[in-house]
Amino acid sequence: MIIKDNEEIFSEELKSERFFIQVKRSFAIAKKDLKIYYNKGPVVIQGFLFPLILFFAFTVGRNIIPIYLISGLMAMVMFMTSTSIGPVVFPWETRSKTLERLIACPISIKTILLGNIWSSFIFGCVFSIVPLLLGILFFGLWASINILIIILGIIVASLAFSSFSLILSVPPTDMPANTMILTILIKFPILLLTPIFMPIHAAPYGIVSPLTYYTDIINVGLGESSAFGPHGLLLDFCILILFGLGFTFLAFVLHGKTLQKRFRG
């Protein structure tokens, strides 16, 4: 492996190739995240326990029609699970010094963030299917269901909330508990603002929450009409896509700014 003066040391690749290489490598990050973090305390608490507890807190003793029950549960599970891995990965990896290892590899911070988005996305998608299956099994919702709308809704919302979750890990802390506090402080008001387990028009302030648009998509997918008029579904998708892109861009910028602070001292 002795290098001669005229030997080509660096491989040349086109910009487009570079992009696809980085996307491919982000899948490796996602695979690793899913293997390591799915059973970590904060993920289990926020991804499984909170939706379960909140579901009972919201629904017990109330007469809720099956469509709102299932769309509400799906919205809550989607929001909580797709935002459960993202906030803990960075502090965890800062603490265990594995982030240093990743940064020393031929990948960019964007690749790492993209990998985190994929893992949260898969987590959110898989767990959103559970309440849907429950609805089909126990409430016979299969008759009115539009599976394409629901699947598209799950995919778009899961990507949007996964990118949102990365914003929560921007502070350069190495204590997952610190981001947990921030996460709860931000996620719960969003959840409370969203008109879940009820008609969307019953809570007009819900328009500020991105989760409202996902709830509307699921309502439409389960046979309801959109709360935002005839083009409501299109509006829902557009808003979620905009939220997703905006959060991703913001996460790239903010993490780029705080990354160096994680390796100090």
Is 148 an interacting residue with respect to other proteins (CB under 8 A)? no
DSSP codes of every residue in 44-98: HIIIIIHHHHHHHHHHTT----HHHHHHHHHHHHHHHHHTTSHHHHHHHHHHTTH
Report 70-109 residues binding other proteins (CB under 8 A): 96-98, 100-108
Residues composing the chain: 265
Q: Which of 191, 234, 246 is nearest to 77 (CA)?
A: 191
CB of 132 to other proteins, least distance (A): 30
**How many residues sit close enough to other proteins to count as binding (CB under 8 A)?**
35
- Tell me if residue 39 falls in helix, strand or coil: coil
86/244 with CB nearer other proteins? 86
Q: Decide: 50 and 80 in contact? Cβ < 8 Å.
A: yes
Q: Decide: 153 and 79 in contact? Cβ < 8 Å.
A: no
Q: Decide: 180 and 192 in contact? Cβ < 8 Å.
A: no
Is 15 an interacting residue with respect to other proteins (CB under 8 A)? no
CB of 2 to other proteins, least distance (A): 4
9/57 with CB nearer other proteins? 9
Report 163-182 residues binding other proteins (CB under 8 A): none
Is 28 an interacting residue with respect to other proteins (CB under 8 A)? yes
Among 24, 62, 201, 257, binds other proteins (CB under 8 A): 24
25/255 with CB nearer other proteins? 25
4/143 with CB nearer other proteins? 4
CA dihedral 87, 90, 96, 99 (to 10 degrees): 160
CB of 159 to other proteins, least distance (A): 22
Report 102-141 residues binding other proteins (CB under 8 A): 102-108
Contacts of 92 (CB under 8 A, 6+ apart): 37, 40, 176
Is 192 an interacting residue with respect to other proteins (CB under 8 A)? no
Is 36 an interacting residue with respect to other proteins (CB under 8 A)? yes
- Cα end-to-end span (Å), the chain: 36
CB of 150 to other proteins, least distance (A): 33
Contact set with other proteins (CB under 8 A)? 1-3, 5, 9-11, 18, 21-22, 24-25, 28-29, 31-32, 35-36, 96-98, 100-108, 260-261, 263-265
